[in-house]
Amino acid sequence: MLIRPATIADAPAVTAIYNAEGVATTASYDLEPVSVAERERYIAAHLEAGLPFYVAEDAGAVVGYACYGEFRAKLGYRYSVEHSVYVCASHRGCGVGKALLERLIAAARTANLHTMVAVIDAANVSSIAFHAGFGFEPAGIWPEICWKFEAWHDVAVMTLKLGD
């Protein structure tokens, strides 16, 4: 497996992963599939801002990706970021997510950021455990904050202190 910086050419694979593992689940609260053009803009915005965006390749195919962006737009939040990690169902449990998040955390520390935020559907116990394994700590539950699949969903917020 190879972890490398994403390029615009990765947009079709990133789109497929996001639509299958995010939009079709409660891992994301987008309600409609996103287009390749939208993911091209999303990747380009990260790259132009100097923000990390990584993909994981296995046998030449993109099987996961990870990135982070601003947590909130207000200047006081400038040392905090919210991240995303998505892995194809076929490659879950193979260390892809771990390798991606390790690289992302290292990039955030290199950028002298203070806190990484995870926003997770509170029923997603595997994602909560995954993040806890990296030292993310519970920071609260936002009850019934999202509506998807004809139901209200609670969101668990977890944070990782990156440094001083």
pLDDT digit string (tens) for 94-135?
999 999 999 999 999 999 999 999 999 999 999 999 999 999
Q: Report d(CA 141, CA 138) in Å as an integer.
A: 8
Helix (H, G, I), strand (E, B) or coil at 108: helix
Q: What mean pLDDT is reported for the chain?
A: 97
**pLDDT for residue 157:** 98
Fold category of 2-115 in CATH: Aminopeptidase (3.40.630)
Instruction: Report how far residue 1's alpha carbon sits from residue 150's, in angstroms, rounded to the nearest whole number.
Output: 38
Look up the pTM and report it.
0.95
CA-to-CA distance for 37 and 92, rounded, in angstroms? 26
Burial of residue 118, with CB atoms counted within 10 A of its CB: 0-12 exposed, 13-18 middle, 19 or more buried: buried
Task: Give the model's pLDDT for residue 55.
Answer: 98
- Region 139-143: mean pLDDT is 98
Q: Where do the DSSP E strands lie in the chain?
A: 2-5, 53-58, 61-70, 80-87, 115-121, 137-148, 151-161
Neighbours of 100 (CB within 10 A): 25
Residue 163 binned pLDDT confidence (cut-offs 50, 70, 90): confident
Domain locations in the chain as residue ranges: 2-115
CA dist 127 and 82 (Å) reads 15
pLDDT digits (tens, 9 = 90+) for 87-101: 999 999 999 999 999
pLDDT number for residue 6: 98
User: Is 164 a residue whose pLDDT tops 80?
Assistant: no
